[in-house]
Structure 1
């Protein structure tokens, strides 16, 4: 009955889960007509859905030809990332592959059959992906090839290199996520759905990627330790412990939380850029595509802040909360209200003894000022007491069924995948 208790404490989330399952998701992620696609393009969308639960739905909701360009962009980078992640590929083979991967886009028969990674299909059938890449307009091909080249070089650089300083942390996150933000922004502008400034302002686009990547790195401490991966910057964690793995020791829990709070404060400095970026977007499908992951990220940071559970497992936001965020984040004022709510939540949890407390308070104040330019908080969606009462009644009568509903909804949200 824990699920029931959780929902009764957040009845608006239960209402949104029901609304979402009954078709509410179509407002932000309408279904794409697969029958109008070529056989090879249908196969690409199949690979998209196989390799990404979180991005597949929002990509397919994009308008016009931008949808296909972003789909292919995602698959190309997924293939590149699969090469980087595959520890069975020797460095002698992997480094040249990463350096030259962008050239494979123009080699009709290139494929790689020796990967042991779970997403190996994007390498084994790369000819289908590269074919659809070559079918894109040149303006899209140029962006995808350029970002693929830069990302491959960056990935190769960090193969045997630890993330030491905060500056290097930014550099690593730029290679694996900031470049994605820059590439997407250039695609948005190339499609004419957004103004040229969106693609030209690489600093803001980079911040969009860095905010998401840093959130994932902070949240995934436990999983990364289990897999032998380390992405937290030594410059920060070495102030608290001798080894990064020491943060998970019970006797170090206070230091661990302080270390994490410092990194969360670092990540929050990207929020003003995120709000500025989102305020420039005009196309609804592009706005939804960009805003949903960002509000999921701020909610995740709020859940992680000052929370020792990060060092015992993966902290996730509630499914109902994720669905509510996804359905609410459809305009800039709503996003500002969401950002305000979660930085306020962080503010309320700042320990006076935390070494980063003053810096955390400062960035929270900055986000507040951007979120409330007129000093008025945009009210959240109002839910009729009748609807809430019905939702609570349904929960009491059929909470097991609604548990299944929430699992189905999970496929549409960005709450659990990097």
Structure 2
């Protein structure tokens, strides 16, 4: 009788945790609240949990009231809470009380409910938990290293931008691929090409976000654009002013839009490698790709934008993208045609050799990056 009551209590607690995950997702993400529900239930549960934990790591790094040292300390404590080294209840309660009003109410609530989120984490299969934890370690350590030196001067090179994008998005692509292969082991034979394309997929999405949000970042005193690309056109990033972009700025922006476009082509190839029987996972990918392509088009057509809101994809365009991909989602030829038609006026900048030959292009990055990736794995 006692065992039965205990089992019911655990089941009830897990159900509450799942309900919280589903409820908070739409409050902390517009895009992922749209795409994650397309996944099959078992995969959806793990991906939702992974996204929320990544969002907590991101929230810590984005909090302007925290110093670089505090961010590192809280990120380390967060990983300890996720891996069970410290009790999450006390950590999350203390941390949630320290956020400024710059952090949204939904994000503060998510942090305060970390113990509930971790109930779901701890109920996942071991391979799923390992994929999520490895991703969080690389993400939190990598974000901190970049945030520590962040400023309006931007990143030194496009290679550094690649590295940053890996830390915040490419590693998520790897994690999602691990979760997918765990869900369908028949895909294990395609692991290497899927991983290479997953990293490029993440790069394309993150670059699009960086370009869209550059003026919001600028107002916060940070910039994730590469100095070398803009310097080639005589532009100093720290001197940029929203709404006052000149032709030289537009030349540099066009080149970066071309790089993002090239990565989104890899994202399409990744999606086409997923068998059509996984139609939900395909939709999860396709909707993200479609929204990114439309955002790049808006950026190209609105050269003097001064806020991300001005280039955000409209709800009508979102609905149109969803409808078209539902019609063509199982047909590779149709998807190639749809992508080509949507991106036909975008510039295209060829990717470096590492992206086309290496399953793990970040291995070609600076030794300092390799060190903390290896340390975190």
Residue 57 (structure 1) aligned with residue 34 (structure 2): yes
Task: Choose from 299, 304, 313 the match for 2:299.
Answer: 304
Deviation at 1:91, TM superposition (A): 2.3
Q: 2:263 aligned with 1:263, yes or no?
A: no
Listed as ranges, the matches of 1:4-403 within 5 Å are 38-105=15-82, 106=84, 107-109=87-89, 110-111=91-92, 112-113=95-96, 114-116=98-100, 117-118=103-104, 119-162=107-150, 163-192=155-184, 195-197=187-189, 199-200=191-192, 201-248=194-241, 252-282=245-275, 283-305=278-300, 307-311=302-306, 314-329=310-325, 330-331=329-330, 332-346=332-346, 360=349
Is contact 1:98–1:155 with CA below 8 Å preserved after alignment?
no
More helix by share: 2
Larger Rg: 1
Q: Which residue of 1 is the match for residue 369 of structure 2?
A: none
Per the TM alignment, residue 108 of structure 1 is displaced from its structure 2 partner at its CA by: 4.6
Cα gap change, 1:198 to 1:157, in 2 (>3 Å): farther
Per-residue deviation, 1:199: 4.8
More RCO (CA 8 Å, sep 6+): 1
Residue 312 of structure 1 and its aligned partner are, at CA, apart by: 6.5
Tell me: CA distance 1:46–1:99, structure 2 relative to 1, closer, same or farther (3 Å).
same
Structure 2 counterpart SS, 1:65 = helix
Aligned equivalents of 2:313, 2:34: Cα separation in 1:
19
In 2, are the aligned partners of 1:217 and 1:232 still within 8 Å (CA)?
A: yes
Q: Measured at CA, do residues 255 and 306 of structure 1 come closer, stay the same or move farther in structure 2, by a change above 3 Å?
A: farther
Runs of 5+ in structure 1 lacking a partner? 1-34, 348-358, 364-418
Q: Map Cα deviations across residues 232-266 of structure 1 (whole Å, 9 max, x no partner).
A: 11111223345325444777511111110011122
Q: Helix, strand or coil: the match of 1:232? A: coil
2:373 is aligned to none
Q: How many residues align?
A: 317
SS at match of 2:345: helix
Q: Quick one: distance in 1 between partners of 2:270 and 2:280?
A: 15
State how far apart, in whole Å, the 1-side matches of 2:280 and 2:224 are.
Answer: 32
Query: Are residues 53 and 37 of structure 1, via their aligned partners in 2, closer, same or farther at CA, if it must alter by over 3 Å?
Result: farther
Q: CA deviation at 1:298?
A: 1.4
Shift of the 247–239 alpha-carbon distance from structure 1 to 2, 3 Å rule, reads: farther
Q: Deviation per CA, 1:176-231: give whole Å up to 9, x if none.
A: 11111111111111112871245543211101110001011112223222332211
Q: Which moved more, 1:250-259 or 1:150-159?
A: 250-259
CA contact (8 A) 1:80 1:98 kept: yes
SS in 2 for 1:158: helix
Q: 1:237 to 1:99 in 2, by over 3 A?
A: farther
CA RMSD of aligned residues (A): 2.5
Change in CA separation of 1:230 and 1:187 when aligned onto 2, cut-off 3 Å? same
Q: CA 1:251 to 1:71, structure 2 compared with 1: closer, same or farther past 3 Å? A: closer
CA-to-aligned-CA distance 1:159-182 (integer Å, 9 cap, x gap): 122411100000000001111111
Contact 2:158 2:229 in 1 (8 A): yes
Say if 1:248 and 1:256, in contact at 8 Å, map to a contact too.
no
2:294–2:313 Cα contact (<8 Å) kept: yes
Q: Deviations over 1:54-105 (max 9, x none)?
A: 2123212311311110111011101111111111122222113224532211
Q: Which residue number in structure 2 is paired with residue 19 of structure 1?
A: none
Give the whole-Å Cα distance in 2 for the aligned partners of 1:311 and 1:334. 36
Distance across 1 between alignment mates of 2:140 and 2:307: 33
TM-score by length of 2: 0.77
2:265 and 2:30 map into 1 onto residues whose CA distance is: 28
In structure 2, the gaps of 5 or more residues are 1-11, 352-377
